[in-house]
Structure 1
Amino acid sequence: MEKEANAREESLKMLIKIFNEGSYSNILMKNLGQKFTPLNRAFMTELIYGTVKWKLRIDYIISRLSSIKVDKIARPILNILRMGIYQIDFMDKVPNPAAVDECVKLSKKYGNAGSVKFVNAILRNYIRNHDSLVFPDKTKDRAKYLSVFYSYPEWIVKRLICELGDEFTEAFLRSSNDVPPLTIRINRLKTGKQRLIESLTGKGIEVREGKYVDDAINLKNVPGIGNLDEFKKGFLTVQDESSMLAVKVLDPKENEFIMDVCAAPGTKTTYIAELMNNKGKIYSADLKGNKLSLIEENAKRLGIGIIETHTKDAAEYDLKYEKKADRVLIDAPCSGFGIMRKKPEIRWNRENDDIDSIKNVQMSIIKTCSKYVKQGGILVYSTCTVLREENIELINLFLKENRDFKLISICDVLPENLMKESCKDGYIELYPNIDDIDGFFIAKLQRVD
């Protein structure tokens, strides 16, 4: 029980960092190392990700039960309450009395006698009145209801409703709260698919083939991906199928010169190299030079030697690469609304005003990097968001101003079970509620002059 208590306290510390310091949950969890057992790590993962994901709904519940306004509650105590309500609502394996008792113990350490009484009263009151809680009226204010019930900022809900409609938005929000599978990519430079599957299943890991990409495998019951010999030997890489599909659409060939201009941490760069059979040259750049080591480390682990890393702002033009690249991949910085299943704090770290500045950056990058594509060459633009103003609307605006490019069909590089009407027009929109993978946008353009 002592280790479980430590796990709860460490979870509290992480939540404070996430909500008050803007830290990312996936990075904090990755840095835990071997401090906790696999069982406790699994407990912490669910507790942290779940509390972050459901923060707005949980805060609404607290506001209905507390005489003190949520923003006036001391941060440690507020986060203890959030953890408690999440456990009561979503963690069936944790008995309600145990959830309350552990939160009370934490409040003794991080508050005072009044805090202890407050936490105990709120949580026990919620258990008693759980079924009588009233959410905003769905018929009077649908955006407000969806915001609270599914735990997303109201401005995001309104944007999505405007673009996607009421019913689709609700399905998208619901799906974006699901826990996605752990998806890996086979490194065919080092191993074969069947060999890797047999090796993983031999360790008690549940294996299921990907939905769309032959190199993709979904895993369950993984004790820690970084600790697997298969990972250390470079047989696999963690990557969602949406991300793999962007590289499939790029369709790299052996001995080509390819540029990946927003590359860190290098997941797509290394997949490009694998599909090129490690033959050719890849220019892999990122604005944040400290992230280049991630690309280099991944390439070394995977046995790849054709990648050259560069610290470079993709929006700044470099004359020496003008019309030199066979293919250019722009995995553009974006709002990230397609990957909220994996990074739930995205919804809290974005502001409505961010979208316009993001679009300006995206347009600057595509205008600059399109100049690197040789005649007849390919430009692939992708994002991990579902906002059309960052996606097809931006592409159409670019094409209106750049007549030397055109969208070309991607039907030949996508699997039959993913074929959509837009594929023949050169782009695809992916949604977790429809396609059961991360929300993504991929467009394929060709220089025609």
Structure 2
Amino acid sequence: MKSRELALKVLLDIEENNNYSNIAINKHFKNINMNNQDRGLATELIYGVVENKYYLDYIIDKLSKIKCKKMNIYVKILLRMGIYQILLLDSISDYAAVNETVSLVKKYDKRSSGFVNAILRNVIRQKDTIGEVDIKDDTIMYLSTRYSYKPWMIKNWINNFSKEFTEDLLEANNEKPSVYLRTNTLKITRDELIEKLINEGVVCSKVPMVEEAIKVENLKNIENNQLFKDGLFTIQDISSMIVGKVMNPKENSLVLDVCSAPGGKTTHLATLMNNTGQVISRDIFEHKLKLIQSTVDRLGLTNVDVQSFDASILDESSVDKFDYVLADVPCSGLGIIRRKPEIKYKEKAELKGLPDIQKTILNNASKYVKIGGTLVYSTCTIQDNENIDIINDFLANNSNFTLVPIGEVKVDLDNQENGYLKIYPNIHDIDGFFIAKLKRVR
């Protein structure tokens, strides 16, 4: 199957089933025999179209009498793909973009091929001007169209941060996310792992913020890499690694991770404890528990116990039992848009109930902490109502906990003395996260 047709199939799956792009890509790419270059192009087209959906539709609507909303789904997606290649992808010639798109239209909706051909040729003719968004007088609608976001998100950020910060954030969210590895320090040092990766032709570098982290440029097909299979590293973003660093569990401790899938933080904590003590790793979905267990086994960890349990229900048998508890709660994900661009199109109503769930999970998690123990709350979002507001609300109702200064990392120098980190893609160049460190004092 050619890369463009594969991209079409994945984009259809995303559009029709509201699937996340990374999940749809894994599903459709699974047993396909394709070289890295073709895989790369398919991936580029999928993410490019998803990231720029509103912008591409705006251009289609400028040129077509039939508006996007009324179009056949195949025609709409193929037009998006064609326009993306012409306007935003330098590596493809305009000629190839038109020809390949039109031949796919002929296969899936023959009678529209002339229509698609005409629109794409029109885009090429007006290439210098057609990409302009002509709604400059309405900042929110302009940014929403230009960067493809639900308008409520843009409005929310301008109100909470500022117009300049928001534009900066939108630009940062457009950048390609870097891939980071976490060295499995139980089996190898970071320097030794870098040497092995370089021998395989991988471009890699140390990340100063976290001493086990490596940034890699061109590591393809990671699941089939022998070093990965041997458990010498795992894939994890820097912000996510910082959670483990902030918690900083001592050896032989008893640790509970209440929402642990896909297992990056759980296995990091277990590794930081040098495979001693015990990490209880909980989640509610069977397929996610299997994923955690397979990572635990691959990394050679013997101090992790994977359990099925719902964090929103109080577990009486865990009360006052743990030295460290992590509540990495479900959230809106507005800090990881680089990795999951579909998050840009979430409705405000979809996120409304999250703070209540977060409060419930944090409250339950706090009950499991021993006196003198540590409680860490984290999210991959940048929204105060899911972050610092939850912590302030919790502290107002739980005087037996206090925020403690974070000295294990140097990330957010404005706030870490006060016991929390606000991490932003446009400031720190890593995933947007919030991490708070609390201690039970009585």
TM-score where L is the length of structure 2: 0.97
Aligned counterpart for 1:287 among listed residues 264, 284, 288: 284
Task: Say if 1:289 and 1:310, in contact at 8 Å, map to a contact too.
Answer: no
SS in 2 for 1:88: helix
1:19-418 map, 5 Å: 19-31=15-27, 32-33=29-30, 34-113=32-111, 115-133=112-130, 134-138=132-136, 140-348=137-345, 350-410=346-406, 412-415=407-410, 418=411
TM-score where L is the length of structure 1: 0.96
Give, in angstroms, the shift of residue 80 of structure 1: 0.4
SS in 2 for 1:131: coil
Equivalent-residue separation in structure 2 for 1:430 and 1:14 (angstroms): 32
Structure 1 residue aligned with 2:5: 9
- Structure 1 counterpart of 2:367, which letter? K
Give, in angstroms, the shift of residue 399 of structure 1: 0.8
Equivalent-residue separation in structure 2 for 1:27 and 1:68 (angstroms): 32
Equivalent-residue separation in structure 2 for 1:160 and 1:103 (angstroms): 37
Task: Say if 2:281 and 2:304, in contact at 8 Å, map to a contact too.
Answer: yes
Structure 1 residue aligned with 2:432: 439
Task: Say if 2:148 and 2:344, in contact at 8 Å, map to a contact too.
Answer: no
Task: Say if 2:312 and 2:360, in contact at 8 Å, map to a contact too.
Answer: yes
- Structure 2 counterpart of 1:441, which letter? F
Task: Say if 2:206 and 2:213, in contact at 8 Å, map to a contact too.
Answer: yes
Structure 1 residue aligned with 2:420: 427
Give, in angstroms, the shift of residue 121 of structure 1: 1.0
Deviations 1:75-107 (A, max 9, x none): 111000111111112221110110011110110
Task: Say if 1:255 and 1:280, in contact at 8 Å, map to a contact too.
Answer: yes
Equivalent-residue separation in structure 2 for 1:223 and 1:365 (angstroms): 37
- Structure 2 counterpart of 1:12, which letter? L
Give, in angstroms, the shift of residue 355 of structure 1: 2.5
SS in 1 for 2:126: helix
Flag structure 2 segments of 5+ consecutive residues without an equivalent.
none
Equivalent-residue separation in structure 2 for 1:46 and 1:211 (angstroms): 29
Give, in angstroms, the shift of residue 220 of structure 1: 0.9
Equivalent-residue separation in structure 1 for 2:42 and 2:282 (angstroms): 34
- Structure 2 counterpart of 1:298, which letter? T
Aligned residues: 439
Deviations 1:155-179 (A, max 9, x none): 1111111111110011001101110
Task: Say if 1:54 and 1:151, in contact at 8 Å, map to a contact too.
Answer: yes
SS in 1 for 2:124: helix
Deviations 1:22-63 (A, max 9, x none): 112112323413521111111111111111111111111111
Give, in angstroms, the shift of residue 145 of structure 1: 1.0
Superposition RMSD in Å: 1.1
Moved more, 384-393 or 27-36: 27-36
Give, in angstroms, the shift of residue 238 of structure 1: 0.5
Equivalent-residue separation in structure 2 for 1:211 and 1:70 (angstroms): 46
Task: Say if 1:136 and 1:144, in contact at 8 Å, map to a contact too.
Answer: no
Equivalent-residue separation in structure 1 for 2:161 and 2:285 (angstroms): 34
Equivalent-residue separation in structure 2 for 1:330 and 1:207 (angstroms): 32
- Structure 2 counterpart of 1:311, which letter? S
Give, in angstroms, the shift of residue 403 of structure 1: 1.2
- Structure 1 counterpart of 2:318, which letter? Y
- Structure 1 counterpart of 2:84, which letter? Y
Equivalent-residue separation in structure 1 for 2:149 and 2:242 (angstroms): 28
Equivalent-residue separation in structure 2 for 1:419 and 1:47 (angstroms): 35
Equivalent-residue separation in structure 2 for 1:64 and 1:37 (angstroms): 37
Equivalent-residue separation in structure 2 for 1:143 and 1:319 (angstroms): 48
Task: Say if 1:315 and 1:369, in contact at 8 Å, map to a contact too.
Answer: no
SS in 2 for 1:406: strand
Deviations 1:391-414 (A, max 9, x none): 00111111111111111100x211
Give, in angstroms, the shift of residue 211 of structure 1: 3.9
- Structure 2 counterpart of 1:152, which letter? Y
Equivalent-residue separation in structure 1 for 2:151 and 2:21 (angstroms): 22
Give, in angstroms, the shift of residue 130 of structure 1: 2.3
Give, in angstroms, the shift of residue 181 of structure 1: 1.2
| 4+ residue segments displaced more than 3 Å | none
Task: Say if 1:52 and 1:345, in contact at 8 Å, map to a contact too.
Answer: yes
Flag structure 1 segments of 5+ consecutive residues without an equivalent.
none
- Structure 2 counterpart of 1:183, which letter? Y
Give, in angstroms, the shift of residue 210 of structure 1: 1.4
Equivalent-residue separation in structure 1 for 2:219 and 2:281 (angstroms): 30
- Structure 1 counterpart of 2:45, which letter? L
Task: Say if 2:182 and 2:236, in contact at 8 Å, map to a contact too.
Answer: yes
SS in 2 for 1:327: strand
Give, in angstroms, the shift of residue 290 of structure 1: 2.2
- Structure 1 counterpart of 2:393, which letter? L
Moved more, 298-307 or 18-27: 18-27
- Structure 1 counterpart of 2:43, which letter? T
Equivalent-residue separation in structure 1 for 2:277 and 2:115 (angstroms): 64
Task: Say if 2:190 and 2:213, in contact at 8 Å, map to a contact too.
Answer: no
